[in-house]
A and B are shown apart, each in its own frame.
Chain A
Amino acid sequence: MLVAGYVAFGALAAANDIPFSVAVASTAILWALPAQIVFVEMQAGAAPLLAIVVAVMLSSARFLPMTLVLMPEMRDPRHRSWKYYIAAQLLSLSGWTMAVARFPDIPREQRLAWFYGFTLVLMTVSAASTAAGYIGADRLPPLARLALVFMVPMYYLLILTGSVRDRIAALGLACGAVAGPLAYVLVPDWSVPLGGLAGGTAAYLLLKGR
């Protein structure tokens, strides 16, 4: 499932003429598919620097509550604190979901090592998938490349509509899906952060209003 997303992202990066090294490195440096897609789309659209940074940052805001939940579960006096700062970079949605599910069965002192192992495998597979998608898009005929790039919106269309059991996700994505294109028509350069803030705030207010 992660593989499909990163293959598609690699193809998107290639189609938008992002350098190969930047595309693959973004999988380790940003390590969040939404942030990476925002980065590539806005970089290709020549959005202002500040707009890109704000949009990428806002799109990965969920890492703070995720680390807040996970870190106490991994805390053990035997480990040095800098190891947790690296663990924070290794965190992704898939790694977090798996860790939350598996930690009850893993002794506390072994959790950090397990987390390093699991997330590094995830990251390596994802970086390899990014590279494969990029090279594939570069070498395949234009029509096949188009199909690979089309996997990006399909991937999120299905993930986002599939996760509607979560009300925050459902409202956020519905409002965002309306606000995103609308903002793009009104303020193309800043459409991603502004559309996200507008759509997200609308979703929040709807959530509270119920």
Chain B
Amino acid sequence: MTEFLQTGLTAHYNYWIYIILMLIGLWAMMAKVNLIKKIIGMNIFQTAIILFYVSIGAKKGGTIPILEHAPGHGHEYIMDAALYINPLPHVLMLTAIVVSVATLGVALALALKTYREHKTLDEDEILSHLSE
């Protein structure tokens, strides 16, 4: 147990941060009754996933995945895989960020529509309206 905690705190603490962040988002989505708070929870959840992916791509001693010019005045580039961090998670998350904004927009539109219909954003009240 102590060994697990030690490796966790020294080598895997980044994953623990994302797990806690993800659980905060999940908690908001499950336990909160206000629809806007649920949407905010969804966004926190998405942020946790984005951070998780970006941290997978990290390499000790690596720089951003844009090729750098070799020393001198030539047009040569340094192309050593150990010097650059993994570009793939960055590509995936680049699109995921924009898509998360788009889903946020649609979610807010649905919440607004619900509010116009029921005059409340409280989930329990909406359910009691619907069952009447």
- Say whether A associates with B: no
* A interface residue numbers (CB < 8 A to B): none
